[in-house]
């Protein structure tokens, strides 16, 4: 028999479940996460689109290539080694909106005019993808029986099939209610 009243014991169990869940999600994310997107506000070279990995390159001789003046390097806050190199110029720069779809960015040069244009194509969602995205959230709301409550919830998605995301979820309410389970969600 526990020395604690039922509701306190339930609250302690809920907190333990959420702590264990969070620790497991952090360990899982650290050791098993898929490669992340580019770091925030840090320039890194883009990887080639996988569609052209085996396509050979050739050298063309355009009459002149239209580039932005060196001020573009400063406006884009490119790394110092790029800003200080007089041989490096900005051909094109594009910003992509946040999206759940992968995107392919391709820059084209017109051999006649030297004009450069960048194109963006949203790729279809993968049929099957392992990946980890998570969320920790605090909500404040009303329950019909207990009145106002605050809810701490943690969610970790681990599998994606097109727009369906499968994962685990845990929540703890200030009224002592806990929930731990698995679920599926649709994202648009």
The C-alpha torsion from 106 through 111 and 117 to 122, rounded to 10°, is: -30
Q: Which residue has the higher pLDDT, 33 or 48?
A: 48
**pLDDT at position 2 over 60:** no
Q: Which residue has the tokens 């943690």?
A: 154
pLDDT digits (tens, 9 = 90+) for 72-117: 989 888 889 888 988 888 888 888 777 777 888 888 887 888 788 8
**pLDDT at position 14 over 80:** no
pTM: 0.56
Q: Which of 117, 114, 112 lies closest to 94, judged by CA?
A: 117
**pLDDT at position 152 over 60:** yes
In degrees, rounded to 5, the angle at the alpha carbon of residue 155 between the alpha carbons of residues 133 and 5 is 155
Q: Which pLDDT value is given to residue 37? A: 61
Q: Which pLDDT value is given to residue 94? A: 84
Q: How confident is the model at residue 27 (pLDDT cuts 50, 70, 90)?
A: low
* Contact of 187 with 165, CB cutoff 8 Å: yes
Kindly state the tokens that stand for 26. Answer: 């952090």
What are the chain's domains? 6-34+127-186 (3.30.1300), 55-122 (no CATH)
Q: How confident is the model at residue 36 (pLDDT cuts 50, 70, 90)?
A: low
């Amino acid at each position: 028999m526990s020395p604690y009243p039922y509701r306190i014991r339930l609250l302690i169990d809920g907190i333990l479940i959420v702590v264990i869940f969070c620790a497991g999600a952090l360990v899982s994310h650290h050791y098993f996460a898929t490669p992340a997107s580019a770091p925030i506000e840090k320039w890194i070279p883009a990887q080639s689109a996988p569609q052209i990995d085996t396509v050979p390159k050739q050298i063309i001789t355009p009459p002149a290539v239209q580039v932005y003046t060196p001020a573009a390097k400063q406006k884009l806050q490119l790394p110092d080694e790029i800003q200080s190199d007089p041989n490096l110029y900005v051909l094109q720069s594009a910003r992509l909106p946040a999206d759940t779809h992968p995107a392919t960015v391709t820059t084209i040069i017109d051999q006649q005019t030297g004009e450069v244009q960048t194109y963006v194509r949203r790729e279809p969602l993968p049929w099957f993808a392992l990946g980890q995205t998570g969320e920790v959230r605090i909500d404040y709301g009303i329950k019909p029986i207990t009145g106002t409550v605050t809810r701490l919830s943690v969610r970790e998605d681990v599998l994606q099939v097109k727009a369906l995301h499968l994962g685990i979820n845990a929540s703890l309410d200030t009224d002592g209610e806990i929930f731990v389970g698995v679920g599926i969600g649709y994202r648009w």
